[in-house]
Amino acid sequence: MGGPIQGPLFHLAAGTKSAVLIVWSRNMAVKRVVANIASADPAQAAAFYGDILGMDIVMDHGWIVTYGGQGTALAQLSVASEGGSGTPVPDLSIEVDDLDAVLERLRHADIALEYGPAEEPWGVRRFYVRDPFGRLLNILAHT
């Protein structure tokens, strides 16, 4: 970290022929990435994200409810042209420690899978499912 970002940005000021060189340093860090899902009723998430995935409510202001996992992970953001193995790009990827337990909870709740479970060549076992808001989720565990 530290030092300038590769490829400085040249900005041509509007109405001029002068360019300004802007160089950013890497002294700023992204601390976390939070996925926000629009819903008229955030409480609908409790059965899925709380009961099925075992996430705890870490903040509840009524208009927004935030669920948190129990691990620590680096902030990540993926940009993809497909979801791998010819699948669509999921809205969220959620890594769990016990994929079979999540599968059992989904079966008990009578929630259908959209893909998998599958052992993927890049070292994960995963499946796709839709949450109560229609978001496509990639639920996975590293093998």
* H or E stretch covering 139: strand 136-142
pLDDT score at 38: 94
Q: Are the C-beta atoms of residues 78 and 93 closer than 8 Å to each other?
A: yes
Largest CA distance in the chain: 66
Along the chain (143 residues), what's the average pLDDT of each consecutive run of 10 residues?
Answer: 52 59 70 90 92 95 93 87 98 96 97 98 98 97 96
Sorted by sequence, the CB contacts under 8 Å of residue 21 that are 6+ apart come out as: 8, 9, 10
Adjacent-strand bridge partners of 60: 65
